[in-house]
């Protein structure tokens, strides 16, 4: 649910990074944080366990610039990927304007990707949202790992509707901003269309 | 979309601003915030410049969401009030109309009783204002600032 403030001439949108445990959601946000000018970003918050696994969410506020005098601000969130944190994932999805599904390209994580994507669809449906109608992109992360699936295989498995998808190595930043720009653009285009209804 | 968009207009913003300003004075509080349930800061009054308001807004919304999740498990509708007591600062969090969150930060210059009393009064006023805002947001004739935006405008945002 975007928030339009006519007084401060701001538009705020919420983007959620979703995906299986250890796929690189937090790494995406960390890279964006490290590479963004200080004036365009706020503090990054990570609610993590002692072993640096996401417990509740990571949060990064980002200003992308102005459109016709309106400042566009994006709040980026990650969900905890581990299966048993499902209740937290549902909470973070509330009011989402755009979704990035971060898939782990490694062959061994194929099933985890599918489960997580199915979980995303189910959790969105609980708040009357259809993944096929929400601004949504996919990132195939960890392209530098040795035992990975081909992009064609990943696409066939995870992207039957052919939403915009990107290869990435989030630790090096490859594909990170391409993914962010694509989802931000879809969110703004959706707002332009005059939703929500 | 499941939940309607939040749109803030000058008239309602000024009314909200007046309520939070008054609440700071009446409750003798340090800071008062209004945040929507998705973590967007709507208004702030008092000594807010010393606080990272964006982070506070997001964490408070997360806190309310988690508490709401617990309520659901216990088959409660919502826990509408939370209070956290610290050594120097205390925080009172109130859910208003299940839509926005009223946060009051105060020290030992005032009492929890007074804060509660003033929050209750402010909540009644805020409820009415957000009801009007919701109606305006759902009005199909209401223009959004995005209506005139072109694909080129969006593309230009990403040309770096």
CB hemisphere CA count around B154 (13 angstroms)? 19
| Structural domains for chain B | 10-157 (3.30.450.30)
Report the percent of chain B where pLDDT is more than 90: 66
pLDDT means per 10 residues, chain A with 197 residues, are 84 96 97 94 91 92 90 95 92 95 98 98 95 97 98 98 98 97 93 63
DSSP state at residue A137:
E
What is the helix (H) or strand (E) element at residue A111, kind and residue range? helix A110-126
What pLDDT was estimated at residue B136?
84
Q: What is the pLDDT of residues B57-113, one digit of tens each?
A: 999 999 999 999 999 999 999 999 999 999 999 999 999 988 899 999 999 999 999
Mean pLDDT rounded to a whole number for chain B:
89
Q: Which residues pair with A16 in a beta bridge?
A: A77, A99
Reduced to 3 DSSP states, what percent helix, strand and coil does chain A have, rounded to the nearest 5? Answer: 35, 30, 35
DSSP state at residue A120:
H
What is the helix (H) or strand (E) element at residue A39, kind and residue range? none
For strand A10-18 and strand A98-104, is the pairing parallel, antiparallel, or unpaired?
parallel
The rounded distance, in Å, linking the Cα atoms of A105 and B109 is 57
* A residues 22-81 lying closer than 8 A (beta carbon) to B: 42-43, 45, 47, 56-57, 59, 61, 64-68, 70, 72, 75
Q: Do A6 and B7 touch (CB under 8 A)?
A: yes
Q: Which residues of A touch B65 (CB under 8 A)?
A: 91-92, 94
What pLDDT was estimated at residue A9?
87
Q: Which residues of B touch A87 (CB under 8 A)?
A: 69
Q: Among candidates A89, A95, A13, A11, which has minimal Cα distance to B3? A: A95
The rounded distance, in Å, linking the Cα atoms of A78 and A81 is 9
**Interface contacts (A, B; CB < 8 Å):** 131
What pLDDT was estimated at residue A16?
97
Q: Among candidates A74, A78, A100, which has minimal Cα distance to A89? A: A78
Q: Among candidates A125, A192, A76, A177, which has minimal Cα distance to B154? A: A192
Of the candidates B6, B42, B147, which has its C-beta nearest A1's C-beta?
A: B6
Q: Which residues of A touch B58 (CB under 8 A)?
A: 45, 59, 61, 75
For strand A165-167 and strand A136-141, is the pairing parallel, antiparallel, or unpaired?
parallel
Q: Do A65 and B54 touch (CB under 8 A)?
A: no
Q: Which residues of A touch B3 (CB under 8 A)?
A: 1, 94-95, 127, 196
Q: Do B54 and A42 touch (CB under 8 A)?
A: yes
The answer, yes or no, to whether residue B144 has pLDDT greater than 80, is no
| Structural domains for chain A | 3-192 (3.40.50.300)
């Amino acid at each position: 649910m975007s928030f339009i403030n006519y007084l401060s001439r701001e538009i705020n949108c919420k983007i959620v990074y979703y995906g299986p445990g250890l796929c690189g959601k937090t790494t995406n946000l960390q890279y964006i944080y490290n590479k963004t000018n200080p004036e365009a970003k706020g503090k990054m918050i990570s609610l993590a366990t002692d072993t640096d696994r996401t417990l509740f969410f990571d949060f990064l506020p980002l200003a992308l610039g102005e459109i016709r005098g309106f400042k566009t601000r994006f709040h980026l969130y990650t969900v905890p990927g581990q299966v048993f944190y499902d209740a937290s994932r549902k909470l973070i999805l509330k009011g989402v304007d755009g979704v990035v599904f971060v898939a782990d390209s490694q062959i061994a994580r194929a099933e985890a990707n599918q489960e997580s994507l199915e979980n995303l669809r189910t959790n969105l449906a609980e708040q009357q949202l259809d993944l096929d109608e929400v601004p949504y992109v996919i990132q195939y992360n960890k392209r530098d790992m040795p035992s990975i699936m081909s992009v064609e295989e990943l696409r066939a498995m995870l992207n039957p509707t052919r939403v915009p998808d990107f290869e990435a190595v989030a630790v090096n930043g490859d594909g990170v901003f391409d993914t962010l720009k694509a989802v931000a653009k879809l969110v703004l285009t959706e707002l332009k269309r005059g939703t929500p209804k | 979309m499941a939940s309607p968009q939040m749109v803030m207009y000058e008239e309602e913003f000024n009314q909200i601003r007046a309520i939070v300003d008054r609440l700071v004075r009446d409750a003798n509080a340090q800071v008062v915030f209004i945040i929507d349930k998705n973590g967007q800061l709507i208004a702030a009054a008092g000594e807010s410049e010393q606080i990272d308001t964006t982070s506070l807004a997001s964490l408070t919304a997360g806190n309310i969401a988690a508490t709401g999740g617990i309520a659901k498990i216990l088959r409660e509708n919502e826990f509408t009030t939370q209070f956290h007591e610290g050594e120097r600062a205390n925080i009172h969090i109130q859910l208003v109309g299940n839509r926005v969150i009223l946060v009051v930060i105060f020290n030992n210059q005032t009492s929890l009783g007074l804060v509660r009393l003033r929050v209750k009064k402010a909540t009644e006023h805020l409820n009415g204002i957000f009801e009007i805002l919701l109606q305006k947001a759902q009005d199909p004739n209401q223009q959004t600032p995005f209506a005139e935006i072109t694909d080129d405008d969006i593309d230009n945002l990403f040309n770096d």
